[in-house]
């Protein structure tokens, strides 16, 4: 059974460390999945934050996220020869997905996020995303999400510069 949960987590002081250390983040995810299996439905990883949509099963998703963040922090500190120091902001954003429409909206939001933040002009150009899997499965055409074509607004755990929620 299980439930789908949308999660956003941000690095401490928004340091852009994730892309340069994406191997460590993937290793941390695999480690968490080996002890407590969960399905990653969709994801995007940006330099200073990530969005995951997971099926946590009957597991506590906060514990799963804590394991991922703690493992990444330990791997990152070791790589950078740091004895201590924060890697992540203490809090994270979560949202329990209510229905299929909500699920689809969050998947779209995740895949559009690198365009929204100006890292590319269309989601297919961003390597660190599940968009490519969805495209290969025929769910998205290659031109989906071209900059200024889509404008997703909602409660996704980020804030626009203007103060409106839903980046």
pLDDT in tens, the chain (167 residues): 468 999 999 999 999 999 999 999 999 999 999 988 899 999 999 999 999 999 988 888 999 999 999 999 999 999 999 988 899 998 899 999 999 999 999 999 999 999 999 999 999 999 999 999 999 999 999 999 987 555 555 555 554 433 333 33
pTM of the model: 0.84
Question: 4-136 falls under which CATH superfamily?
Answer: Transposase IS200-like (3.30.70.1290)
The CA dihedral of 23, 108, 146, 20, to the nearest 10 degrees, is -10
* 17 touches 76 (CB < 8 A): yes
Alpha helices in 5-99 (DSSP H): 22-35, 61-80
Contacts of 49 (CB under 8 A, 6+ apart): 8, 9, 10, 11, 14, 18, 158
């Amino acid at each position: 059974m299980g439930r789908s949960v949308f999660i956003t987590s941000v690095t401490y002081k928004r340091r852009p460390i994730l892309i340069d250390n994406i191997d460590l983040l993937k290793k941390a995810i695999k480690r968490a999945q080996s002890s407590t299996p969960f399905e990653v439905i969709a994801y995007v990883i940006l330099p200073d934050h990530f969005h995951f949509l997971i099926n946590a099963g009957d597991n506590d998703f906060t514990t799963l996220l804590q394991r991922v963040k703690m493992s990444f922090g330990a791997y990152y500190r070791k790589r950078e020869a740091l004895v201590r120091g924060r890697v992540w902001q203490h809090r994270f954003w979560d949202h329990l997905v209510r229905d299929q429409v909500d699920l689809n909206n969050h998947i779209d939001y995740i895949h559009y996020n690198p365009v929204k933040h100006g890292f590319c002009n269309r989601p297919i150009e961003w390597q660190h995303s599940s968009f490519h899997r969805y495209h290969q499965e025929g769910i998205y055409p290659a031109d989906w999400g071209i900059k200024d074509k889509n404008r997703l607004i909602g409660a996704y755990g980020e804030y626009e510069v203007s103060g409106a929620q839903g980046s």
